[in-house]
Amino acid sequence: MTTTTKKRTRLIAAFAAAALAASLALVLAGCASNAAPASSASSSASSAAAEAQTRTFTDSAGRTVELPATIERIAPSGHTANQVLLTMAPEKMVGLSQDLTEDQAKYFDIDAANLPVFGAAFGAKGDINKEAVAAADPQVIIDTGEYKDGLKEDLDTLQEQLGIPCVFIETKLEDYGAAYEDLGELLGMEERGRELSDYCKAAYDETTSVMATIPESERANIAYLLGDAGLNAIAANSYQGGVIDLCANNLFKPEKATGSGAGQEVSLEQIALWNPELIVFQKGSIYDTVGDNPAWDGIAAIDSGNYYEVPGSPYCWLNNPPTVNQVMGMQWLPRLLYPDKFDTSIEDVAKSYYHTFYGYDLSDEEVAELTENALPKAA
């Protein structure tokens, strides 16, 4: 082989080696390029899978609802649920059913001014703003209160319209504890649910134990009046009148009791015929003026000064709406009517209730202001 031929052979070999190296580099680069997106896609898929994790929850209406595994954003269906959720998980609420007054807002650990107001899905108005709810993006809408015929269908319809899961938690005077246990399970807040449940059960058990020692014939005969003229009454055996029925003899017994928080209109003549020994007026009614009104002369409760005003901050202790504020009412009313039957005072239970339910520690001055017209009068 000549010298020229040897050089040509070496040159061809060098070019071949370079070409092979370049080809390998391209192959390796392509592999590396393909590997990175695969890793990124895998990460995205894992994230999406985590977000898509769901579970089922059976609500108090017997409906099985598919929910996100973790719930951080909730909305109330209406005013009853609004109150319940403010005691359970205000930090998870993305909106309210109605504006909070300045007096109400001070009790809750939320910036109420920045929360949208949705209205109520059900009830007389049924004015919920579906667009506002959708914009707030709750993971679940929670309805509470009394179970009524047609509720399942109403919830199914609302859920379909909004594309957001809706659940119902029944709240009953005799078992608010169960409601909080269900909420604890629903929201992954079992410890908070147990705390509130235990309080509700203890309050109810104490009240019913005391009332068991008082014969029906010895229970106070009372009327619960409201309205601008004090001529609307809450009826016995109504959802609104549960605390009265638990603790006293409610003198207003119509053939059919309404569920309205406004009560039912009665006449002053009818109140005179009942001649209640004690009257409780809802805040905003005529407590301040009734004692000077000659039209009310001759009614035993007014003549004796044995009438009181139901505390109403942040919500009425007896009803309106009838929900977990009644846990305070069921401790207040029997202590008002039968103070000798209890070892703790109205002031004691007010501080305990506000601390447990609202996370708010009442000062002595605030307790005095709340209960100014709600304490037993000196004999």
Going 216 to 222 to 226 to 231, the CA torsion angle's sign is positive
Amino acid at 318: L
Residue pLDDT, tens place only, 135-162: 999 999 999 999 989 999 999 999 999 9
Residues 6+ apart with CB under 8 A from 220: 247, 248, 249, 277, 278, 337, 338
User: What is the pLDDT confidence band of residue 379, given thresholds at 50, 70 and 90?
Assistant: low
Residue 16 reports pLDDT greater than 50: no
Residue 42 reports pLDDT greater than 60: no
Residue 35 reports pLDDT greater than 60: no
Q: What is the pLDDT of residue 41?
A: 47
Give the span between the Cα atoms of 155 and 165, in whole angstroms: 9
Question: Closest Cα partner for 234 from 218, 220, 254, 219?
Answer: 254
Percent of the chain, pLDDT > 90?
A: 78
Question: Closest Cα partner for 175 from 205, 152, 153?
Answer: 205
Give the span between the Cα atoms of 17 and 287, in whole angstroms: 104
Give the span between the Cα atoms of 127 and 87, in whole angstroms: 24
Same-domain check for residues 338 and 229 = yes
**H helix or E strand, kind and range, residue 338:** none
Q: How many domains does the chain have?
A: 2
Same-domain check for residues 159 and 219 = no
Residue 68 reports pLDDT greater than 70: yes
Q: CB count, 10 Å around CB of 84?
A: 27
Q: What is the pLDDT of residue 37?
A: 45
Q: What is the pLDDT of residue 25?
A: 40
The pTM (predicted TM-score) of the whole model is: 0.85
170 - beta bridge partners? 145
Q: Let me know: does 286 contact 293? Beta carbons within 8 Å.
A: yes
Q: Return the DSSP state at 168.
A: E
Amino acid at 295: A
Residue 291 reports pLDDT greater than 50: yes
Q: Let me know: does 81 contact 144? Beta carbons within 8 Å.
A: yes
Average pLDDT of every residue of the chain: 88
Same-domain check for residues 154 and 253 = no
Q: Which of 172, 191, 225 is the last residue of a domain?
A: 172
Q: Let me know: does 140 contact 56? Beta carbons within 8 Å.
A: no
Residue 115: inside a domain: yes
Structure tokens given for 239: 């959802």
Q: Return the DSSP state at 85.
A: H
Q: What is the pLDDT of residue 124?
A: 64
Same-domain check for residues 136 and 66 = yes
Give the span between the Cα atoms of 196 and 202, in whole angstroms: 10
Same-domain check for residues 233 and 284 = yes
Same-domain check for residues 78 and 137 = yes
Percent of the chain, pLDDT > 70?
A: 85
Same-domain check for residues 94 and 164 = yes
Q: Which of 146, 172, 198 is the last residue of a domain?
A: 172
Same-domain check for residues 114 and 249 = no
Task: List the CATH number of the domain containing 332.
Answer: 3.40.50.1980
Same-domain check for residues 364 and 219 = yes
Same-domain check for residues 164 and 299 = no
Q: CB count, 10 Å around CB of 6?
A: 10
Query: How far is C-alpha 347 from the chain's CA centre?
Result: 24
Per the structure, the complete domain to which residue 84 belongs is given by 55-172
